[in-house]
Amino acid sequence: MKTKKIIALLGASLAWTTAGYAQETVKIGVILPYSGPFADAANQLQAGIDLYIAKHGDTVAGKKIELIKKDTGGPAADVAQRMAQELVVRDGADIIAGFALTPEALGAAPVAEEAQKLMVVMNAATSMVTEQSEYIVRTSVTIPQVNYALGKWAFEDGGVTQAYTLVSDYGPGHDAEKSFSAGFTEAGGKILGSDRTPVANPDFSAFVQRVKDANPEAVYIFVPGGAQPAAIGKALVDRGLAPPATKILAQGELTHPEALASMGETARGIITTFHYTLERDDPLNKEYVEGYTAANNGREPDLFSIGGYDGMHLIYEALKKTNGDTSGDALIAAAKGMSWQSPRGPMSIDPETRDVVQTVYIREVQEVDGKLQNVIIHEIPDVKDPLH
Amino acid sequence: MNQAMSANANVDTARQWLKRQSRWSPFEIVFWLALLLPFFLFPTYLPLASQIAIAALFALSVDLILGYAGIITLGHAMFFGLGAYAAALLAKAGWSEPLTGLLFAGVFAGLIGFITSFMIVRVQHLALLMITLGLGVLTLELANAMSWLTGGTDGLRVPRTWPIFNYFRFDLWGYTSYGYTLAVLFICFLLSRLLVNSSFGLALRGIRENVKRMPAIGSDHHRHLQKIYTISAAMAGLAGALLAQTTSTVALDVLSFTRSADVIVMLVLGGTGRLYGAIVGAIIFLVARDQLAGINPQYWYFWIGLLLMVVVLFMPKGILGFLSRLAGRRDND
Amino acid sequence: MSSIVIVLFDGFAFGMLLFVLSVGLSVTLGLMNFINLAHGAFGMLGGYAAVTAMRLLGFPFLLALPTAFLAAALLSIVLERTLFRRLYGAPELNQVLLTIGMVFVAAAIATYLFGTVQQVIILPSWLRGSVEIAGMRFGVYRIFLIGIALIVTALLVFGLERTRLGAQIRAAVDNQRVAKGLGLDVEKIFGITFALGSGLAGLGGALAVEIVGLDPSFGFHFLVYVLIVVSVGGLGSITGSFVGAALLGIFDVAGKYFWPEIGSFLIYLLLVAILFVRPLGLFGKR
């Protein structure tokens, strides 16, 4: 009885997937945490992918692009590994893409390596991700890339001589702390102290008080996107730790649009480093933002969106170069050294490390036409990840 | 069972009852043969099948304490994760032989299980639930704090596991993985079956039904509970080790609260206090999840939630309990 | 010295937020023995109700708070009548499964209606910023939180001790069977208590948006904190929840301040230690 039930169930599940097999398609498996705590990142990234396809058509080099979405529900390295495996053996995917989170990219990397498939990392920002396989290329950003640059800038141009660092206690946070401190101290600055906040931290007041006790010229912050940027921003200002008395330096998530809305006046003067700036005055970016908001109920693009958008650009251009050849070796060769104008600005793929090279923007929250926004105050072109 | 036990409570009938219980029914044989079907019918589903086997083993380990001894836990991922990290770190240290790695992980998780069992057996109900949850979260935080060893949130890439018996290589399709995980599941199932149908298993059920009465009939319930908790922890460790070995990756999520909660959901879905409940629950939960997520990656959990609610409302004894009532078989509980 | 006062104040304020979120669960668990893991989902509902009321209907923040309370309370009456009631007296695990299922469904519905984006509440200007008292800066919103929590506590204590309904609830908690025998409509009392508890969760959810944000995973995210407060405080005890929440908030913040390296461990260590010594919680009776 039980057995029959199970067989029926398994049978039903088979029927679902043996759909028609069209010729001349390029199948791109997209592995993302569409559900769970990182669902928003996945949605924004997916919207970036969709926008690119909508703009450039779903046919490239005579082949039709087909997306296969796989949810990890995670951070779940094991699920990502299985999804990659299934994409290769069951769905016949030619390219695997997505990867919002580092552990999931690490999980899938051995599969890309063994199956010799191009793997496009559209977000996961830990340096070592691209070192896991010769078939991995990244179109997002690396944490050391933007934060090392910020550290250097803070001392050389920002007029900060000593700072306190406050980062989330997990991989990306540790990376951020290390690279900001490296850039800052190598230039001549001094780190007064550093604290790490639990990743799921609902309340920052204790840490902010510790910063206050140390009385630094500037505080450097790294927290994951979502609810934390606004929370920590407000906690800082409640303590009187606000520009111009105390400079606040951070990675761009801190002042993304929702956080700015929530922080209001208190956000004024926060300095952030990022690879994508929503308000950057550039025709390509304007067109991108307009298209994006129109397609997403007014929601504005963020770092995830641009990673997905440029990831698709890389795939399209690589396919054009190989004339539709989808073998991993051909595609990765085509991707190496590729350079293009993205809505974020000029970017390219380092032929050595297969990692992204791009302009890093230092921005300050200022009032423009009565609205607070990130205004670019400094640009550093062609920045590579300093750790590779 | 109650009639047989209380009315003629002499040793002979009890032994006969145990014997009857441990006889294999044709259903069971068919069931296990059916688990071989994926090899032939759905070879592209083998990676999923092996992760289901791992989840089933994990659920089985929880069933031993929850279903048979009444220890309710919200932190069993602690042992799953410890096993996974033990196997992964052994491999990182240069020893990727699967069977010894498995054994090492099981012993390690069992040891930690034994140590914590002193605490576990002294509390019940909500306190027990929260202490297991607390210990689970503490282990997760500890692993995060020791990111130099565990890789923290980024996770660890585990060196590829060596071929089993130096012959069966772990392939991309997952033939070896499924064969391996299924074999371990089957062996652990056999051991569990022996265990629950032994006098020890009976003593455990006695504890589950009424803790206070057990000492009165001369049964040292603390000792019994510690023993089964240790066994269960070791088995959860094996499941974790299997995951690390077959996926070549391990990250903090092996220790997560979600994993502890998911396994309870699978178990209750299938039916607690029956060994097959763990396996059937894992199959149904993960196959449903996989298929629903395939159709709709963003909203699949709506349907999973609905499934859970429907099962509770219409099959209060789990899917297996419902099926066995349909089949008109006596509840073997 | 002044920083210690600030830290204790902040911790206490955070604890008060947890108190409002969790006191309802403590009462329903104590009263009906019903393990409602969907309690956090009612908090989420309250949060979304407040956000919607402010954004679409233009309600001021102070009016959005009772809206959140009412929305959560009303929905809980419907669900209590149709679903929860069937599982009173059912095995604990079935209650767990049903309510976990509801959290899944609630999260999916929230995603569908509001998307995965973080929701923002724009506070009125008088609740923003901080005030300086004796050279220390206290966040205005945190003072407001403490005020609300104290009012809620006062109302609950007064309601339970001095009103007819309160007496009935206490009777039903102490001994259901006798209460029924005395002609009390225990089912109705259950329903009202349930609605009150869920409403408070909704209020807590609305209050929490400013501090911790709001997205569809809120229901899961706060479950663990709520369970800790309830178990440490002791079931069915308002004082217990109050003390438990305050302790949790203060230890969380103070722990992170004095020992940042083990800040995230501390509350769980405390949880395990307290429950090991006092399995019924600090103020639990049964």
Could you tell me if C160 and C169 are in contact, meaning their C-beta atoms sit under 8 angstroms apart?
yes
Residues forming a β-bridge with A220: A165, A249
Could you tell me if C155 and C23 are in contact, meaning their C-beta atoms sit under 8 angstroms apart?
no
Q: Out of C130, C210, C253, whose CB is closest to A206?
A: C253
pLDDT digits (tens, 9 = 90+) for A213-262: 999 999 999 988 777 888 888 888 888 888 888 999 999 989 988 888 88
C-beta atoms of C103 and B145 within 8 A? no
B146–C contact, CB cutoff 8 A: no
A40–B contact, CB cutoff 8 A: no
Distance from CA of C48 to the nearest CA of A (A): 15
Residues in A whose CB is inside 8 Å of some CB of C read: 36-37, 39-40, 42-43, 169, 195-198, 200-203, 205-207, 209-210, 212-213, 226-228, 230-231, 237-240, 258-259, 261-262, 264-266, 297, 299
* Chain C residues within 8 A of A42 when measuring between CB atoms: 116
Instruction: Give the whole-angstrom CA distance, residue C143 versus residue C130.
Output: 9
Q: What local confidence, expressed as pLDDT, does residue B317 receive?
A: 85
- Interface ipTM: 0.88
Residues forming a β-bridge with A362: A273, A378
pLDDT digits (tens, 9 = 90+) for A137-163: 999 999 999 999 999 999 999 999 999
**Whether residue A10 has pLDDT greater than 70:** no
Average pLDDT over every residue of C68-96: 90
Could you tell me if C236 and C244 are in contact, meaning their C-beta atoms sit under 8 angstroms apart?
no
Instruction: Give the whole-angstrom CA distance, residue B55 versus residue B33.
Output: 19
* Chain B residues within 8 A of C261 when measuring between CB atoms: 145
Instruction: Give the whole-angstrom CA distance, residue A30 versus residue A86.
Output: 12
B168 within a domain of the structure (yes/no) = yes
If DSSP codes are grouped into helix, strand and coil, which group holds residue A220? strand
Residue C1 binned pLDDT confidence (cut-offs 50, 70, 90) = low
Q: SS in 3 state form for chain B?
A: CHHHHHHCCCHHHHHHHHHHHHCCCHHHHHHHHHCCHHHHHCHHHHHHHHHHHHHHHHHHHHHHHHHHHCCCCCCCHHHHHHHHHHHHHHHHCCCCCHHHHHHHHHHHHHHHHHHHHHHHCCCCHHHHHHHHHHHHHHHHHHHHHCHHHHCHHHCEECCCCCCECCCECCCCCCHHHHHHHHHHHHHHHHHHHHHHCCHHHHHHHHHHHCCCHHHHCCCCHHHHHHHHHHHHHHHHHHHHHHHHHHHCEECHHHHCHHHHHHHHHHHHHHCCCCHHHHHHHHHHHHHHHHHHHHHCCCCHHHHHHHHHHHHHHHCCCHHHHHHHHHCCCCCCC
Q: pTM of this prediction?
A: 0.88
Distance from CA of C87 to the nearest CA of B (A): 8
Q: What local confidence, expressed as pLDDT, does residue A237 receive?
A: 82
B236 within a domain of the structure (yes/no) = yes
**Whether residue C211 has pLDDT greater than 90:** no
Average pLDDT over every residue of C121-126: 87
**Whether residue B110 has pLDDT greater than 90:** yes
**Whether residue B278 has pLDDT greater than 90:** yes
Distance from CA of B297 to the nearest CA of C (A): 11
Searching chain B, which residue's CA lies closest to the CA of residue C263? B141
- Could you tell me which chains touch chain C, where touching means 3 or more CB pairs under 8 A? A, B
Residues forming a β-bridge with A14: none
Q: What local confidence, expressed as pLDDT, does residue B331 receive?
A: 45
Q: Out of C92, C108, C235, whose CB is closest to B301?
A: C108
Burial of A379 per CB tally in 10 Å (0-12, 13-18, 19+): middle
- Could you tell me which chains touch chain B, where touching means 3 or more CB pairs under 8 A? A, C
C-beta atoms of C253 and A205 within 8 A? yes
C-beta atoms of C279 and B316 within 8 A? no
Instruction: Give the whole-angstrom CA distance, residue C102 versus residue B292.
Output: 17
Buried/exposed A108-126: b ≥16 CB within 10 Å, e otherwise: bbbbbbbbebbbbbbbbbb
Q: Out of B134, B265, B308, whose CB is closest to C272?
A: B134
Average model confidence (pLDDT) across chain A? 89
**Whether residue B10 has pLDDT greater than 60:** no
B246 within a domain of the structure (yes/no) = yes
Q: Out of B125, B134, B309, whose CB is closest to C98?
A: B309
CB C14: neighbour CB atoms within 10 A? 27
Residues forming a β-bridge with B129: none
- Could you tell me which chains touch chain A, where touching means 3 or more CB pairs under 8 A? B, C
C-beta atoms of A228 and C6 within 8 A? no
Q: Which of residues 305-324 of B touch C (CB under 8 A)?
A: 305-309, 311-313, 316
Q: What local confidence, expressed as pLDDT, does residue C75 receive?
A: 96
The residue among C182 and B115 whose pLDDT is bigger is: B115
Q: What local confidence, expressed as pLDDT, does residue B12 receive?
A: 65
Q: What local confidence, expressed as pLDDT, does residue A266 receive?
A: 82
Give the contacts of A228 (CB within 8 A, at least 6 positions apart).
A168, A201, A204, C213
Q: What local confidence, expressed as pLDDT, does residue C212 receive?
A: 83
C-beta atoms of A77 and B249 within 8 A? yes
Q: What local confidence, expressed as pLDDT, does residue B332 receive?
A: 46
B118–C contact, CB cutoff 8 A: no
Searching chain B, which residue's CA lies closest to the CA of residue C226? B130
Find out if CATH 1.10.3470 is the number for domain C2-277.
yes
pLDDT digits (tens, 9 = 90+) for B200-224: 888 888 878 777 666 666 667 888 8
Counted across chains A and C, CB pairs separated by less than 8 A come out at 111
Instruction: Give the whole-angstrom CA distance, residue C203 versus residue A178.
Output: 41
Nearest residue to A169 via CA among A194, A206, A205: A194
Distance from CA of A97 to the nearest CA of C (A): 21
Searching chain C, which residue's CA lies closest to the CA of residue B258? C220
C-beta atoms of B299 and C108 within 8 A? yes
What is the number of domains present in chain B?
1
The residue among B2 and C172 whose pLDDT is bigger is: C172
Q: What local confidence, expressed as pLDDT, does residue B316 receive?
A: 84
Average model confidence (pLDDT) across chain C? 88
Q: What local confidence, expressed as pLDDT, does residue A20 receive?
A: 39
- Judged by average pLDDT, the poorest of A3-7, A78-82, C41-45 is A3-7
Q: Out of B34, B287, B293, whose CB is closest to A71?
A: B293
Residues forming a β-bridge with A348: A339, A357
Residues in C whose CB is inside 8 Å of some CB of B read: 29, 83, 86-87, 90-94, 96-98, 100-109, 111-112, 220, 224, 227-228, 230-231, 235, 261, 264-265, 268-269, 271-272, 275-276, 279-281
Q: Out of B141, B257, B265, whose CB is closest to C264?
A: B141
* Chain A residues within 8 A of B294 when measuring between CB atoms: 16-17, 70
Q: What local confidence, expressed as pLDDT, does residue B244 receive?
A: 95
Distance from CA of C192 to the nearest CA of A (A): 31
The structure tokens listed for B288 are 């449903």
Average model confidence (pLDDT) across chain B? 88
Q: Which of A78, A90, A143, A175 to mutate to test the interface with B (most CBs of B within 10 A)?
A: A78
Distance from CA of B140 to the nearest CA of C (A): 10
The structure tokens listed for A1 are 């009885």
Token pair 């309802």 is found at: C24
Instruction: Give the whole-angstrom CA distance, residue B298 versus residue A47.
Output: 13
Residue C15 binned pLDDT confidence (cut-offs 50, 70, 90) = very high
A90–B contact, CB cutoff 8 A: yes
Q: What local confidence, expressed as pLDDT, does residue C256 receive?
A: 85
C191-to-A348, C81, C173, C201, C271 alpha-carbon distances in Å: 63, 8, 14, 15, 31
DSSP symbol at A113? H
Residue B161 binned pLDDT confidence (cut-offs 50, 70, 90) = confident
Token pair 């503490």 is found at: B138
Provide the residue count of chain C.
Answer: 286
Residues forming a β-bridge with A138: A121
Q: Which of residues 99-138 of A touch B (CB under 8 A)?
A: 102-103, 106-107, 109-111, 114-115, 126, 128, 132
Average pLDDT over every residue of A23-43: 90
Could you tell me if C193 and C25 are in contact, meaning their C-beta atoms sit under 8 angstroms apart?
no
Average pLDDT over every residue of C62-88: 93
Nearest residue to B41 via CA among A179, C168, A102, A8: A8
**Whether residue B97 has pLDDT greater than 80:** yes
The structure tokens listed for B111 are 């040891």
Searching chain B, which residue's CA lies closest to the CA of residue A101? B154
C-beta atoms of B138 and C272 within 8 A? yes
**Whether residue C252 has pLDDT greater than 50:** yes
* Chain C residues within 8 A of B153 when measuring between CB atoms: none
C-beta atoms of C265 and B138 within 8 A? yes
Token pair 């979600």 is found at: B258
* Chain B residues within 8 A of C29 when measuring between CB atoms: 126
Q: What local confidence, expressed as pLDDT, does residue C263 receive?
A: 74
Q: Out of C10, C213, C264, whose CB is closest to A227?
A: C213
**Whether residue B151 has pLDDT greater than 90:** no
pLDDT digits (tens, 9 = 90+) for A181-222: 999 999 999 999 999 988 776 678 889 889 999 999 999 999
Domains of chain A: 24-141+286-354 (3.40.50.2300), 144-274+360-383 (3.40.50.2300)
Q: Which of B28, B249, B279, B286 to mutate to test the interface with A (most CBs of A within 10 A)?
A: B249
Instruction: Give the whole-angstrom CA distance, residue C16 versus residue C242.
Output: 8
Instruction: Give the whole-angstrom CA distance, residue B75 versus residue B120.
Output: 11
Range(s) of the domain holding residue B222: 42-257
Nearest residue to C225 via CA among C210, C203, C208: C208
Average pLDDT over every residue of C257-280: 87
Q: Which of C96, C224, C267 to mutate to test the interface with B (most CBs of B within 10 A)?
A: C96
C-alpha angle B155-A119-A43 in degrees, rounded to nearest 5: 75
Q: Out of C130, C215, C252, whose CB is closest to A226?
A: C215
Domain segments of chain C as ranges: 2-277
